[in-house]
Structure 1
């Protein structure tokens, strides 16, 4: 059986850094050449970074992307390259456009693109022998969740080609094209492809890598050939791309795999199936002949599988590191309360950017317990970060008097609670201004869902590391992080004490919210699964509890809209995955009897001031 030496270039690209991304590709291409690869594949939209969003509306950006493709193509020699880029249909032939753009000035490149009808395609180019020899246009455009590809791209409709590279019949496809039976991948395999390269920018969510493998096995069996799946890695705003590139044979065997959450190049000799096409025919383009026979190299050892906690923690670390580094931040500052959320965020940040670049502020008030102060200090010592103690009581007293004067009477208790949180937010943001450090917020998904936070207080900052992590998972992640060290970095007392914001005497979270082991499953059904209140009640939860949680979720949208970006780890995070209006009087009354709450149906808007928990009183 013949073999094709294939390299998968799992790269961490930067959206908009077209020249930098091209340099990354060229470096990886040179390494693939040294490894004797016949072809190297790179992720979806490698040159632009993914997702480029409305950068695609800029002619100069499109022109620079074509110029970069020209430079990459010109560098190919014995090793072909499959490269993701944005094709501009309606210009001259791509080969001419790429070659011309590579040698033209910026203004000339932009003018050429601006003057053409702009029909954009999410594309993969096959480059070999110093030129672009073939292009594939993505046919199935995702337009759900975090994906908006129909906003910018048109689907490919042109006849598909196969390419003989290194003596092997090769097909190309892009991401979503893999996920549906009977689609482009199946068509190419049945037309005689011995290997289909599928380039991807597939974001991480819990368990997603198992979904991918199941689809790859199904499609490889259907197509009757091997599939090479190359994925992007790295953080881009709220998205984390976990890599996990792999090659799956027609029989479902994983021939080779790259690790998750790290750049990698995997080089493997892929066995080419014998036999003739089983259905259909595609035009075939000869690119390069087979090299002289050489013994197949052993497959690289597979990466160790990760537990769910290891996956999520890796995603948080990578997403935090890339957000800070790609946006020019070297250091971060965090408020350390001695609670479990800030402890987890501090551990993630220290692992992401180094303890020497993380700075903690302990800002105790009259309500802060001695235990929490000790826990904050112990955590900082265990992580090796500097901790500065800044009591807020002087500001709390002075601002409390100012607020009482402004409202004409002593302010209610919730106002005083929020005032403490806002004082801490002001101090953190002032430190950020003075030192150039980004503020990391510490709110979790359970709090974000229910509005259990203070606007311009604990929600104020530049990046929300655990905004998509439910509280119950926070505990699991803390125990996982402790398991990585000889001694626990997060004090056991933090894991054992009752959660509390410590904004009033003897406060506990469960005085304002249901216990988290009850709240989180209800939120999963209401938010992630979009189930009705009645459906959730039928699964065994009290109607009063479910209705209250649903009301909290509905009325907290205005807070979520103002929260910082943060790492997405679930299939439905707040933000692009779930887009709800702020001004919205719809309430799910499916669990009520027909004679139920008439007031809600009267058109009277619900009061945000009346919500339970720790919401700010802002209307």
Structure 2
């Protein structure tokens, strides 16, 4: 189980009601198919060895004996599979009948888990035939035959967590259908007892609108329990006398739906679960409680997961669904504007000042400022946009800054800082031809000085433009563009900045859309070195690497606690065909080194609104000493 990934499967076999031999053969067939694809946990529907819709036939001795014979067949035929198989059947215990999940591993029945919440409403009458597993006061034993035909005593258990000896994170609990739909599902206690995966053997009939509710129920349960949830549903082979079953199989992880079957079909769906991520989520959640549960150990050799059923989006900060992207962009801009509006109102600022370079970050800051002023009912002419040309400024960016200010109806002021920087070079004895970091930072700090003093003069506040990606890399001049009175882009990564500006352009139209589109097409640059033939000579991504890679590294390292080897593996998977492994390793090493060495800049960030799950504010989101050593992370990255 390299990097904590494990493949799981939810399977809906084609059944014949009360034909136990046929049903066993179908379960075996799908179990073998799933195991061949690498699944280590294979979940089938409840009562799948008999069919869920047998009605009063459940009271017949013949059917109950047939179910046990079918179980013996499944044990024998799956003995060679390196997987845990969960299958449902009716089981007699001390004269009572229970709706149970059989937990099978390598030809042995490890345990039976009875259903605890039995429906008796509408068309469901399980209480007519079965009793709740809560009726079992203590662990009971049932004699059944294993895969070798030997009679063994198998425990019937509730509230047990199954744990793999060879793979400590591979832990799961079992509940059956209605158990999930009640006010206090057994999965709560199972997850708090250490189960990273909840398996649900279900038979949920299909009604108009029920699929969406079922989907949300599974997804939300996986979120609140920080677990993976594998839901296997009864399919079209069930009786249609009064109900129709659709085989709606679902696999979710921590609130995200990873796999879903097409309804009214049969077969298997797969997902690669990240157990290390789930363990990390629980470590960081002080609200995730603990519970005392029994632990049932089993043995299953570790195996690698091919990640064929795991999707890593290249732009994790940007929704892949275009409709959700539009909704998300509007929400983000609203959060940013609301935060800025509150700060302006609280400080009674007469104006808001921004350095407008004609680049993406300052463009987004101006967009947010315009929205904030609109929220407050203020005249946009109260926004002071300052363009400060110097040695690296090109006609394109300066022209776009001027057009942008005009299109938004804000006040524009131009302050040429070349003479002031030249004087500063003379004061500190710096040669103009020495284009070192001093040459660059002197310009950045001069611009901040101008903005701060203009804000003082106008009775206003400086709005910062720096984004989350720059903060992660430390790609900011300390006490230069690093500083402001309110940083509206502080939790917006560069890849998302682009989509927000694109969203604004799409709804703007006219001249404003044209200038925004040209800004989107302009290379990212601080413009601190002289241009070449009038074109930008200093391209940020040539120096520090592609922002799409750095944002990917940032997301998985901070949000899910991935170590370098796992970030690298995920990046190779996500960017296959875009960047080769050597390029990914190079920039991952750069990211780690810069992330650690530049913490001192993040330790004194100005205020700014948090909009997503990843942020670097030292006041709560990311607390790290400025002199933390990166050797462990770098050693792992360099050894890849």
TM-score (norm 1): 0.46
Structure with max Cα Rg: 2
TM-score (norm 2): 0.45
